[in-house]
């Protein structure tokens, strides 16, 4: 122990030296980190009282996001076609009940085809009125896009929505995407493009999105000048592989089980 204390004192003296070169300082920092790790291991080995494998912190953003997402899933489903105007921003999920063959595995399940968020009208909004009709407006946008598609029926879509305190919608959306891997979300890289706000086709330099390739009808995405980002066959192959390997939630109990399982795994 005396030798260790002497060595540590020498390191402290060396660290306080003003004549250290940049490489020497970097090496000293690396050695100090290594000593710190070894001391931590020594403390854990000697201390008869063990540390917990995880600490539950209710203020941790990812944890708040997961609970907020679960609260959204607990809301009743409603037809997308008949969502009324309401105040508030937050999160939502769209579910598919129709007969489009590619979506068969998730048809009438608890696996949404798309999830999203609606940010408040004002960043400082504290009430639903101050947040504005952002969540209802986003659902209305989606309703219009589905109605434009030549092979989708708006009556085949339901949704869930949850008004959320401003600032927490992004964390909740991220958890929903992580858990469900919705095939229309751009983050998954499959049938992206549904959430786009179109502009004049003549001003667009990008390619036609996979969503518009499968579900034609939006005028700004139908110009002959636009090339498909993916061929229909490529899209179908990728989606089929994704759904065959991924977890599809048949009911709310399966969603709850997944949520609890992930809580157990938090470190």
pLDDT band at 78 (very low <50, low <70, confident <90, very high): very high
Long-range contacts of 28-35 (CB under 8 A, 24+ apart): 35/8, 35/11
207 has pLDDT over 80: yes
Does 29 lie in the same domain as 6? yes
**Number of domains the chain contains:** 2
Does 149 lie in the same domain as 41? no
Residue 225 forms part of a structural domain? no
Does 76 lie in the same domain as 154? yes
Contact between 32 and 11 (Cβ < 8 Å): yes
Residue 75 forms part of a structural domain? yes
Does 22 lie in the same domain as 81? no
pLDDT at position 58, please?
Answer: 61
pLDDT at position 59, please?
Answer: 64
Residue 220 forms part of a structural domain? no
Does 176 lie in the same domain as 65? yes
Contact between 32 and 12 (Cβ < 8 Å): no
Does 141 lie in the same domain as 86? yes
d(CA 131, CA 86): 11
- Which residue in this structure is represented by tokens 């494998």? 53
Domain that holds residue 26: 2-46
pLDDT at position 214, please?
Answer: 95
56 has pLDDT over 70: no
Residue 195 forms part of a structural domain? no
Does 131 lie in the same domain as 255? yes
Does 107 lie in the same domain as 177? yes
What would the pLDDT profile of 11-40 be if each residue is shown by its tens digit?
667 666 666 677 877 887 888 788 888 877
d(CA 204, CA 198): 9
Cα 176 to Cα 63, 154, 172, 188, 210: the distances in Å are 12, 23, 6, 12, 22
Residue 78 forms part of a structural domain? yes
Does 145 lie in the same domain as 29? no
Residue 86 forms part of a structural domain? yes
d(CA 110, CA 254): 9
Does 171 lie in the same domain as 98? yes
pLDDT at position 37, please?
Answer: 82
Does 250 lie in the same domain as 131? yes
Residue 65 forms part of a structural domain? yes
| Beta-carbon contacts of residue 175 (< 8 Å; ≥ 6 apart) | 62, 65, 66, 68, 69
Q: Which residue has the higher pLDDT, 223 or 60?
A: 60
Residue 216 forms part of a structural domain? no
pLDDT band at 49 (very low <50, low <70, confident <90, very high): confident
Does 66 lie in the same domain as 19? no
pLDDT band at 7 (very low <50, low <70, confident <90, very high): low
């Amino acid at each position: 122990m005396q030798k260790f204390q002497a060595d540590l004192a020498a390191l402290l003296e060396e660290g306080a030296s003003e004549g250290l070169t940049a490489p020497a300082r970097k090496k000293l920092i690396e050695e100090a980190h290594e000593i710190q790790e070894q001391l931590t291991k020594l403390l854990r080995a000697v201390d008869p009282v063990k540390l917990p494998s995880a600490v539950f912190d209710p203020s941790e953003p990812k944890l708040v996001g997961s609970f907020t997402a679960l609260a959204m899933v607990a809301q009743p489903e409603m037809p997308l076609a008949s969502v009324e105007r309401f105040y508030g921003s937050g999160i939502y999920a769209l579910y598919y009940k129709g007969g489009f063959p590619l979506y068969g595995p998730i048809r009438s399940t608890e696996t949404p085809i798309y999830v999203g968020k609606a940010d408040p009208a004002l960043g400082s909004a504290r009430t639903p009125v101050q947040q504005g009709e952002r969540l209802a407006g986003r659902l209305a946008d989606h309703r219009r896009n589905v109605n434009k598609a030549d092979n989708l029926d708006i009556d085949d879509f339901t949704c869930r929505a949850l008004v959320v305190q401003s600032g927490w919608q992004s964390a909740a959306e991220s958890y929903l995407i992580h858990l469900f891997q919705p095939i229309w979300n751009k983050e998954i890289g499959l049938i992206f493009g549904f959430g786009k706000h179109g502009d004049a086709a003549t001003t667009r330099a990008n390619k036609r999105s996979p969503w518009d390739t499968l579900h034609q009808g939006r005028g700004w995405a139908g110009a002959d000048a636009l090339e498909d980002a993916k061929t229909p066959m490529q899209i179908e192959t990728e989606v089929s592989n994704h759904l065959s390997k991924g977890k599809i939630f048949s009911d709310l109990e399966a969603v709850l089980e997944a949520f609890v399982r992930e809580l157990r795994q938090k470190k």
